[in-house]
Amino acid sequence: MPVDKTMGNRVYAGTVNLTGRVEVQATTGYEDNTLARIIHLVEEAQEEKTQAQQLIDRFGDRYSPAVLAASIALMVIPPLFGGDNSEWFRRGVTLAVAGAPCALVMSTPVAVAAAIGSAGKRGVLIKGGVHLESLGPVQVVCFDKTGTLTTGAPKITDVVPGDGFEPDEVLATAAGAEASSEHPLGRAIVADAESKGLVLDPATDFEALIGAGVRATSEGTTILVGKPLILADEGINLASLDHEITRLEAQGKTVVAVAVDRTLAGLIALADQPRPEASASVASLSRIGISRVVMLTGDNQTTGAAGGNRLGLDQVFAGLSPDDKIGQVRQLEANYGPVAMVGDGINDAPALAAATVGIAMGAAGTDAAIEAANVALLGDDLTVLPATVSLGQKVRRISLQNIAFSILLLAVLVPAAVAGAITVAVAVTVHEVAEIIAVANGLRARRVDPGPS
């Protein structure tokens, strides 16, 4: 929704001036502006995540050399103390075969590839297996508001007529005056009137009251459309609809008052509408075991809370800057566990990078958001989100099953190889069968449907 700025207010890099002329003073250098700080925050968050991944990689790199070293030691050391060369050589070779984690190595990539392919068919781009697996333990899902949970465009929600006026009359009058306006609220009023087939009386002497409304004349009648406060300053009595203004603003809506020849004709309320699938998607996330679904928004508390209540969110954090969103993501992660962040704007990019899993709205999202995220919903369809999280949960379960299966197998084969209880042929056969079982288990990930067509 548009934000009014007056003398002395701060504006941010990337701000779009909708109407009129504005002069701004640069108070910092380019290296300190909002865009530069966002880029720096994204880089920091991504670097932290990479270090954790490198720790896991280093652990895996040490296992295979350890098995190989143990195998060589088994072949060399016992014969030095009088052991049978051929027997200990056979045991060393058997240990090298038996200790290889083939089931684990084969099964996890198969499960991940199957799941990523299945998700891709439904318009979900997952940027790697580590991100898919990271979806599994997610406990909190954070949503940006505008453009993510909502459509990002204001629409009329209520038309409240004053005494002696009809709703369509109020809407047509306002649309006629706003026909020449470039303001998003004015365009929304005109579009709604035209969609209802209302006849718009051509207005003359159009005057845009920057940040306040418009004034126009139609067949000798003066029409004023704008903020209730502006109409009150013009001496127009709003007392008859004061309670309606309070009610609508408490719902997080923007209220526009309409006056005809200094008489209050009615009110028009506008709001950024929730995506049709948003409420059902939030409910589905709760059903699949997500402990908290929250909103992180830069809007004021009233607007944010109203949107959160409509969608059934557990909590709303409002008035947040990009820095604040990162802090809130990290606080939620400390309190509840892994966090997924869903957003679409450049101001969401740092939080997307800082979250355990960042999920961008692929079509509507900015390049910065998509670049920072680990997952992109290419169709901007939130209905695929719960099933994508379920997909991560299933892949994680499959991975844990295969890890447990592989460890159990090694716990049996390694001592047996050292003791000389099995031959190389037996070790190879057991590994081949185990690989088939693990791969078959991994392919079950294809049967998780990441959302409706």
| Amino acid symbol at 304 | G
Instruction: Please tell me the distance from the alpha carbon of residue 214 to that of residue 55, in angstroms, as a whole number.
Output: 61
| Amino acid symbol at 210 | I
Instruction: Give the pair of three-digit tokens for residue 179.
Output: 């026909």
- Residue 101, φ and ψ in degrees, nearest 5: -85, 55
Cα separations in angstroms, 316 against 33, 147, 297, 304, 313: 27, 16, 8, 7, 7
Instruction: Please tell me the distance from the alpha carbon of residue 140 to that of residue 341, in angstroms, as a whole number.
Output: 8
- Catalytically annotated residue among 4, 32, 84, 144: 144
Quick one: DSSP state of residue 159?
Answer: E
Active site includes 144? Answer: yes
Instruction: Please tell me the distance from the alpha carbon of residue 169 to that of residue 121, in angstroms, as a whole number.
Output: 49
DSSP 228-294: HHHHHHTT---GGGHHHHHHHHHTTPEEEEEEETTEEEEEEEEEEEEPTTHHHHHHHHHHTT-SEEE
Cβ 378 vs Cβ 124: under 8 Å: yes
Instruction: Classify burial at 90, counting beta carbons within 10 Å of its beta carbon; exposed 0-12, middle 13-18, buried 19 or more.
Output: middle
Q: Are strands 339-343 and 140-143 parallel, antiparallel or unpaired?
A: parallel
If DSSP codes are grouped into helix, strand and coil, which group holds residue 163? coil
Cβ 335 vs Cβ 117: under 8 Å: no
Active site residues: 144
